[in-house]
């Protein structure tokens, strides 16, 4: 008999699954607020319409489900056959009728949730390979999906904000982005400083002499770092060597 509850026992993984499912519900709500005609509109991602974002989120769930199946069966099932295949899939998906796009999102999200639910507790440490070639425990797929659904709900561009994303997700996102910059040597002379709430004083990088310091509320700093720019009305500041800058510079590339 198929289990009707998550088999994983690890508390951190179970909490992550809850956050992923809440993010999926949040994306679904923002998607449901769009008319079919509005799906043709621009997203916050250059070169992508809302159709592209919806298709990407749907196919991403299928790709992550393949990794969970890999962990369950021991049979290697890559996320995508190639980067080109991934891109072609998204471009094709963006041409689907609106109802088909909605169904793609709904069905793929349910499929992934069921694959997670039925993965035996002993299998959550099995290693799988991401689309970037990293070997990670399959438990990492939960964070991979959390990042996709919460970020891309904002990218639909119909009212979702970074402030709607849970603070613990924002903190981890910021850490991931900073780590990516560090690996490419792009953090020299740059510092980020959060100035609100529980995260007041959180600083990444050295804000000392000669540094460019980007500061603001956690949601504003993460939005900037993720390459989505500054939201109108957000209190995001930039200073170089202690002197305020008239404009906030563009963030380094993330991914």
pLDDT digits (tens, 9 = 90+) for 64-77: 999 999 999 999 99
CATH number, residue 191: 3.30.1050.20
User: pLDDT above 90 covers what percent of the chain?
Assistant: 87
- List CB contacts of 114: < 8 A, sequence separation 6 or more: none
Q: Does residue 129 share a domain with residue 52?
A: yes
Which residue spans within the chain are E strands per DSSP?
127-129, 135-137, 190-194, 203-205, 212-216, 237-240, 243-244
Number of domains in the chain: 2
Give the span between the Cα atoms of 98 and 102, in whole angstroms: 6
Same domain, 29 and 93: yes
Q: Are residues 151 and 54 in the same domain?
A: yes
pLDDT beyond 60 at 93? yes
According to DSSP, residue 132 is labeled T
Residue 86 and residue 46 share a domain? yes
Q: Is residue 6 part of a domain?
A: no
Q: What is the pTM of this model?
A: 0.93
Residue 201: predicted pLDDT: 82
Given 106, 134, 160, the domain boundary residue is 160
CA–CA separation, 160 and 152 (whole Å): 9
Q: Is residue 1 part of a domain?
A: no
Identify whether residues 110 and 195 lie together within a single domain: no
Tell me which of 141, 160, 179 is where a domain ends: 160
Print burial letters for 57-67: b (CB count within 10 Å at least 16), e (below 16). bbbbbbbbbbb
- Over 80: is that where the pLDDT of 135 sits? yes
Question: What per-residue confidence (pLDDT) applies to 189?
Answer: 93
- Maximum alpha-carbon separation in the chain: 66
Is there a domain that residue 176 lies in?
yes
Task: Please indicate, yes or no, if residue 255 is contained in any of the structural domains.
Answer: no
Residue with tokens 């021991």: 74
List, for residues 115-133, the tens digit of each pLDDT value.
999 999 999 999 999 998 8
User: What does each C-alpha distance from 51 to 37, 65, 199 come to in angstroms?
Assistant: 10, 21, 35
Summarize pLDDT for 15-58 with one digit per residue, the tens: 999 999 999 999 999 999 999 999 999 999 999 999 999 999 99
Last residue of a domain, one of 160, 178, 201: 160
- Mean pLDDT, all residues of the chain: 94
Could you write out the three-class secondary structure of the chain? CCCCCCCCCCHHHHHHHHHHHHHHHHHHHHHHCCCCHHHHCECCCCCCEHHHHHHHHHHHHHHHHHHHHHHHHCCCCCCCCCHHHHHHHHHHHCCCCHHHHHHHHHHHHHHHHHHHHHCCHHHCCCEEECCCCCEEECCHHHHHHHHHHHHHHHHCCCCCCHHHCCHHHHHHHHHHHHHHHHHCCCCCCEEEEECCHHHCCCEEECCCCCCEEEEECHHHHHHHHCCCCCCCCCCCEEEECCEECCCCCCCCCCC
Is 169 in contact with 150 (CB distance < 8 Å)? yes
**Domain span including residue 20:** 11-160
Selection from 172, 178, 170 nearest residue 197 by Cα: 170
Shared-domain flag, residues 214 and 119: no
pLDDT at 198: 78
Domain contains 171 = yes
pLDDT for 197? 78
Residue 5 included in any domain:
no
Residue 72 placed within a domain: yes
């Amino acid at each position: 008999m198929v289990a009707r509850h998550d088999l994983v026992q690890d508390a951190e993984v179970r909490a992550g699954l809850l956050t992923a499912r809440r993010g999926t519900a949040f994306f679904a709500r923002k998607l449901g607020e769009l008319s079919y005609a509005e799906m043709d509109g621009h997203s916050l991602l250059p070169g992508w319409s809302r159709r592209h974002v919806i298709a990407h989120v749907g196919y991403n769930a299928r790709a992550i489900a393949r990794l969970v199946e890999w962990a369950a069966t021991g049979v290697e099932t890559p996320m995508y056959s190639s980067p080109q295949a991934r891109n072609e899939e998204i471009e094709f998906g963006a041409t689907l009728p609106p109802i088909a796009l909605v169904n793609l999102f709904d069905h793929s999200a349910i499929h992934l949730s069921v694959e997670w639910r039925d993965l035996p507790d002993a299998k959550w440490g099995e290693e799988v390979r991401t689309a970037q070639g990293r070997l990670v425990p399959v438990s990492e797929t939960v964070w991979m999906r959390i990042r996709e659904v919460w970020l891309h709900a904002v990218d639909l561009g119909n009212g979702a904000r970074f402030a709607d994303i849970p603070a613990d997700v924002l903190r981890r996102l910021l850490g991931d982005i900073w780590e990516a910059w560090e690996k490419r040597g792009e953090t020299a002379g740059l510092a980020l400083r959060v100035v609100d709430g529980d995260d007041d004083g959180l600083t990444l990088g050295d804000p000392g002499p000669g540094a460019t310091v980007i500061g603001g509320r956690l949601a504003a700093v993460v939005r900037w770092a993720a390459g989505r720019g500054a939201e109108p009305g957000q209190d995001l500041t930039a200073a170089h060597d202690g002197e305020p800058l008239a404009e906030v510079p563009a963030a380094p590339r993330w991914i």
